[in-house]
Chains A and B, each alone.
Chain A
Amino acid sequence: MTPRLELDPALVARARELAARAGQPVVDLARQHTTVSVERAVLRLAGLTGTDPLTGGVDGGAEGTVPWVNRVVDAVREQVGLEQGVAMPVWHALTSGDAPSLQSLAESVGAGTARFELPTGGDADRAREAARAAVREGIARIDANRRRREELVALHGDPPRRPWIYLIVATGDIYEDIPQAQAAARAGADVIAVIRSTGQSLLDFVPEGATRTGYAGTYATQENFRLMRAALDETSAELGRYVRLTNYASGLCMPEIAVLAGLERLDMMLNDAMYGILFRDINPQRTFVDQRFSRMVHARAGIIINTGEDNYLTTADAVDEAHTVTVSQLLNETLAKEAGLEDWQLGLGHAFEIQPELPESFRLELAHALLARSLFPDAPLKWMPPTKHMTGDVFRGYLLDGFFNLAGALTGQGILLVGMMTEAVVTPWLSDRDLALQNVRYVLNAAGGLHEDFHPAPDGFIAQRANQVLAESVDLLEKILDHDKGLLDAIADGTFGLMRRPADGGRGLDGVARKSTEYWNPATELLEVSGG
């Protein structure tokens, strides 16, 4: 049974309606544009992998070399532009006999001999049919992975209770990550997240191969995804519990990473509507176009997205700005549903970040957590531990994490990210992780069912606070709609997270192209026709 608060139903309906209106211009923008990464994702769905060995490369390694998908998209763009999409020129080159396969066509791009043009008439029909067939294979593999996940969950079983216990691994070396992830799963983790190398979000290409040199995280690559999923499949069989794998579809390569996640059966992906814009200064247009495509892929792949509202509270006050979390959740929800995601796939984020010295801070946390729970009753909310008020005092941190765990149990959260008492001190040690899991286990064993008995008084502190935050959220949504272009203008003038992010600023704008009337993309066609 899920705990609920009595929220004013008129206010809830109003909030959703306003969020949908605020999101509409962003959806229109995403439909009218494409990006280099969306086009590269099409080639990845068609099976193009590998890197051009003649580019970059640190010490003869593959890590700095340019992926073939980048080389091909750049060549098409240079010769015929991006506004029609790459599918027609690429498959025209293939169907007219310029190259026997996509791989060899890429190599001729590397050699500088590939010529691209936009086909017409019968040539266009042939190119379109060939592109569809090629991309359909990638989508078929994503579908097969989704079925396989369902089989494995049926075979091994889901975690025995909610919330699912979510643990981060981040060594930088995939071969170190694997035993750590397996150990974490054995110790009780239901979800393993491999944090990415710092700065990957700003790379305009996806690194290739198994990598061992990430900084404060491990590169998201197709091979790393495959290795980790295979290892966790072994561990799932050993434990009799399907262990889920999480990575990040964010930054400049969101669409491609979403495709790789679908191809390698990842189970959850971090994928927030505005995080890249606000916190990484990625261009808003680029973000929204990339995001819609990536969410269509996630919808198809049966992947649960995790949104990043916790980040607002690391830069803003968790009480004063609580409503920005709610507004972002509502926007994430409306944009996700438009892209085909269902309620069970919306791991909307929120966090335990109120200043612990504030009187009644725990009641305020409960109010905010219950608001999210009541507003999104069918979404597996992702509950994030304290970070901002974690100090080097690991003992106090351990207590705070205990209260965080209790709030998670009491308010029926879906996914609980395990807090580390050494947050802000070191990357978690083996013993830190073990102690943190003991903390979670104790609370869930001792109070896992407490949400059944927890009914805050309808006129009490918690209910009043939740309704107040909801009202503030509606006010903020109205303010967003006062702008000419709604959300885009609101982001530009600093309505969110204190940052001004104009629509033509930030990284990656040069990778955005307005679609011409000739634009065609076999992936969006296939995903839109049969998507959720």
Chain B
Amino acid sequence: MSDILRPYGDTTGDGMVQMSFTLPMPHTKVAEGAAQQLANKMGMDPAMVVHAKAISPEFTFFVVYGRVHHLVEVDKVRVVERDYPLLSPKEANLAIRKTLRRRMVVVGACIGTDAHTVGIDAILNIKGFAGEKGLEYYREIRVVNLGAQVSVPQLVARAQEEKADAVLVSQVVSQRDAHLLNTREMSAAFREAYPSDKRPVLVIGGPRFDEKMTDELGVDRIFARGTTPADVASYLVHTLAVRRQADRTKEAHAS
């Protein structure tokens, strides 16, 4: 594979792409021209409006094929790679049994005034998300879902009471940066309540977080939009195993 690529239709280097979209206008000749204009502005040249259909008197749907001249520079692509192996529920259960030799305890909540449990429920409830079952389904994970509008002191107390291995917090509402403020308050409270090596793994999730802000927010991991239960379970298994390994090494050195 070369470092410089173009999209492939049926010939190397032809740059052909296909797209579909809707414009809020009646289906007329002008509408088809408008679709063509949009495609041209997006860099498709030539652009072929191959299909146009009135969805209603006010909307028209288009399919456009065309050539783009942009080059893909593969060596300049930057992504955050998953730095842990993705496990199936069965594999995760097995790994927990092997490393922890007991069930993993996960405490989850929406903190502050945020009442949107959609995120935490998608990850924790058995119903799950995107066809994947939630952490409740994992035999070796004990889930304590505290639901919405949990205060930080409540969360810390419950985490201690349940001997949580991990704390999952979901924040959907981001008005006036509430999600960032709440998260900082939460991580500070955990730092205060636990010695650093005993603190549960702190995981935060929500559609408005930047995955690279972990240090700034004082948490171990941030999950953004589209995260599935298996992502979270695999991360927790991996992180707890690494910690366990570090503990053992420390003990070995001490003795």
User: Chain A residues in contact with chain B, CB under 8 A?
Assistant: 183, 186-187, 198-199, 202, 215-216, 278-281, 311, 314-315, 387-390, 424, 429-431, 434-435, 497-499, 507
Contact partner of A388 (CB less than 8 A), chosen from B131, B137, B148, is B131
Q: How far is the CA of A198 from the CA of B170 in the complex (A)?
A: 14
13 cross-chain CB contacts under 8 A = A199-B115, A199-B121, A202-B148, A215-B116, A315-B126, A315-B137, A388-B131, A431-B61, A434-B53, A434-B55, A497-B126, A499-B136, A507-B147
Which of chain A's residues have a CB closer than 8 A to the CB of B121?
198-199
A504 vs chain B, min Cβ distance (A): 17
Contact assessment for B56 and A198 in the assembled complex, using a CB-CB cutoff below 8 Å: no
Contact assessment for B147 and A202 in the assembled complex, using a CB-CB cutoff below 8 Å: yes
Q: How far is the CA of A186 from the CA of B56 in the complex (A)?
A: 9
Contact status of A280 and B20, CB under 8 A, knowing A183-B56, A202-B147, A215-B118: no
Q: How far is the CA of A456 from the CA of B42 in the complex (A)?
A: 53
Q: How far is the CA of A435 from the CA of B22 in the complex (A)?
A: 12
In chain B, positions 117-165 with a C-beta closer than 8 Å to chain A are: 117-118, 121, 125-128, 130-131, 133, 136-137, 145, 147-148
Contact assessment for A216 and B126 in the assembled complex, using a CB-CB cutoff below 8 Å: no
Contact status of A281 and B127, CB under 8 A, knowing A186-B56, A430-B55, A430-B59: no
Does B237 sit at the interface, judged by CB under 8 A?
no
Q: How large is the interface on B (under 10, 10 to 19, 20 to 34, 35 or more residues)?
A: 20 to 34
B172 vs chain A, min Cβ distance (A): 7
Q: How far is the CA of A144 from the CA of B56 in the complex (A)?
A: 35
Which of chain A's residues have a CB closer than 8 A to the CB of B55?
187, 430-431, 434
Contact status of A314 and B118, CB under 8 A, knowing A497-B126, A499-B126, A499-B136: no
Q: How far is the CA of A215 from the CA of B116 in the complex (A)?
A: 7
Q: How far is the CA of A499 from the CA of B138 in the complex (A)?
A: 10
Contact status of A434 and B61, CB under 8 A, knowing A215-B172, A315-B126, A498-B126: yes
B86 vs chain A, min Cβ distance (A): 16
Known contacts A215-B172, A281-B125; 13 additional CB pairs below 8 A are A186-B56, A199-B115, A199-B116, A202-B117, A202-B147, A202-B148, A215-B118, A278-B126, A279-B125, A279-B126, A281-B145, A315-B127, A430-B55
A219 vs chain B, min Cβ distance (A): 11
Could you mark each residue 95-120 of chain B with 1 if its beta carbon is under 8 Å from any beta carbon of chain A, else 0?
A: 00000000000000000000111100
Contact status of A498 and B127, CB under 8 A, knowing A199-B121, A430-B59, A431-B55: no
Which of chain B's residues have a CB closer than 8 A to the CB of A390?
131
Contact assessment for A314 and B22 in the assembled complex, using a CB-CB cutoff below 8 Å: no
Q: How far is the CA of A389 from the CA of B53 in the complex (A)?
A: 29
Contact partner of A314 (CB less than 8 A), chosen from B59, B127, B172, is B127
B176 vs chain A, min Cβ distance (A): 12
In chain B, positions 53-106 with a C-beta closer than 8 Å to chain A are: 53, 55-56, 59, 61
Q: How far is the CA of A389 from the CA of B132 in the complex (A)?
A: 10
Contact status of A199 and B126, CB under 8 A, knowing A215-B172, A315-B133, A389-B131: no
